[in-house]
Structure 1
Amino acid sequence: MPKLGALHVIKPTGIVHNASVIFLHGSGDTGKGVLEWVKFLKKNFGFPHIKLLFPTAPKQPYTFIGGESSTVWFDRYKLSPDVPEHDESINAIKDDIKKIVDEEIKQGISLNRIIIGGFSMGGALSLHMAYRFLPGLAGTFALSSFLGKESEVYKNIKSIQTPLFMCHGDRDDMVPLKWGKSTFDHLTHLGVKGEFMELANTYHELKTSEIDRLQSWIEKLLPQEI
């Protein structure tokens, strides 16, 4: 398994660091890329007490684009909820994400003070981490993301206590809104509690209103005073 790329960080703006958020980028992007995108939309995105981590996926062959190398978290046979997930590559990358989490725990941050989320493919991996591999997280978010209809997340869900936040553009022609909403509905049917925000006139992209809502959601789950 190729190694992760560069890790970019937004440090807490205050003295105390007592929570962390890991933000996973979409396919073909980097940690630096999604960090710059978020900061472009909201310059003051940050928290007094929360460290924000933006890791970079390994560069590896990606079947969906003909086997060419790309910075992707896992492999996909096709961009569709109707095809099987490439669970071998999902299982491989989970250990790298767990290492990032373990480093935060070593610094005194408990698992229930850590959120993992992401955009597109990064959001899909976040759902696997939260509901299969790391039960006990403070929350997870998936922006313009989806899971396959036969996802292992549904079959082997380990935690329904982790809150979920999902957003999706109504004009997304890469990952249609109905894929994201179906994912949300399936998870909530299994007992997960969460909220789904539909973004008007929005394609496969991040929007300022979405980042505003995400920031408020994070602050609610990870308050400064504990």
Structure 2
Amino acid sequence: MSYTNSSIGSGSRTGRRAFEFGRTYVVRPKGKHQATIVWLHGLGDNGSSWSQLLESLPLPNIKWICPTAPTRPVALLGGFPCTAWFDVGELSEDCPDDFEGLDSSAAHIANLLSTEPADIKLGIGGFSMGAATALYSATCFAQGKYGNGNPYTVCLRTIIGLSGWLPGARNMRNKIQGSHEAARRAASLPILLCHGLCDEVVPHTHGERSNHALSLAGFQNLAFKSYDGLGHYTVPKEMDEVCNWLNARLGL
């Protein structure tokens, strides 16, 4: 559930291409189905490894959907193809975001959630690039539309991002604060961010900056947790935080 590249970011654009998403793994609730969370893996991973971890969590009332990203050329890897929710280059404020790829993945995730029963609480979580995609989905929910202008119709109840960053952070504040309805939705969405202080792939400072950008844009129900000694992976203490967050925010 981790990878070893020395840098990761919100990379370069590629030509318009249709990428096929991989296999989706589903963990059925062991108790009463009260919530459904789509969980997104990191670069080069797949939905299977996270589904095994999530199945072991003491959250019997959650259904987990773990899709696999498309295999696509990745700028970070010199164009070598691997599973990625969008194209990535270096982790830099000046590096252009692949909004076409982000919109495609966010729409795929929303489609997975759109068939859930009306009384089920919906959320998105992820690790690293998956966390970035989850946070991008949060901004789409707040604005009520994707970056390409198409409507975003899923009602999200929570977002979780582990060891990630926020794509499109530079322009988000103006987009959300320019609309009363977008500001209202942003303020209502609980977001948990967790990041290791020793993360060598997505540095802790990027998590801090993402938290700051979300706060400035009007996301008021934010929690940012730092973990001393934690690199670019997850540990039981962090997953305990996720469990406590979901139980409290979703009333499980």
- What TM-score, normalized to structure 1? 0.87
The equivalent residue for 1:198 is 226
C-alpha contact (below 8 Å) 2:27/2:65 kept by paired residues: yes
Note if 1:181 corresponds to 2:208. Answer: yes
Distance in 1 separating the partners of 2:164 and 2:119: 27
Query: Residues 30 and 151 from structure 1, CA distance in 2 versus in 1: closer, same or farther, beyond 3 angstroms?
Result: farther
Aligned equivalent of 1:136, options 134, 155, 180: 155
Note if 1:13 corresponds to 2:41. Answer: no
Note if 1:89 corresponds to 2:101. Answer: yes
The equivalent residue for 1:2 is 19
The equivalent residue for 1:172 is 199
Alignment of 1:11-160 (within 5 A): 11-14=28-31, 16-36=32-52, 38=53, 44-104=56-116, 107-110=117-120, 113-133=121-141, 134=152, 136-148=155-167, 150-151=169-170, 153-157=172-176, 158=182, 159-160=185-186
CA deviation after TM superposition for structure 1 residue 216, in Å: 0.8
* Counterpart residue identity of residue 118, structure 2: G
| Structure 2 unpaired stretches of 5+ | 1-17, 142-151, 177-181
Deviations 1:114-146 (A, max 9, x none): 110100000111111112145731110110011
* Counterpart residue identity of residue 4, structure 1: F
* Counterpart residue identity of residue 82, structure 1: D
Query: Residues 53 and 152 from structure 1, CA distance in 2 versus in 1: closer, same or farther, beyond 3 angstroms?
Result: farther
Distance in 1 separating the partners of 2:93 and 2:174: 15
Distance in 2 separating the partners of 1:213 and 1:123: 16
Distance in 2 separating the partners of 1:59 and 1:46: 32
CA deviation after TM superposition for structure 1 residue 150, in Å: 4.6
The SS at the match of 2:242 is: helix
* Counterpart residue identity of residue 23, structure 1: W
Note if 1:218 corresponds to 2:241. Answer: no
The SS at the match of 1:156 is: helix
Distance in 2 separating the partners of 1:89 and 1:24: 14
CA RMSD of aligned residues (A): 1.9
Deviations 1:69-114 (A, max 9, x none): 110000123233331211121122222112101122xx3345xx11
Distance in 2 separating the partners of 1:152 and 1:98: 23
Which 10-residue stretch deviates more, 139-148 or 128-137?
A: 128-137
The SS at the match of 1:124 is: helix
- What TM-score, normalized to structure 2? 0.79
C-alpha contact (below 8 Å) 1:142/1:167 kept by paired residues: yes
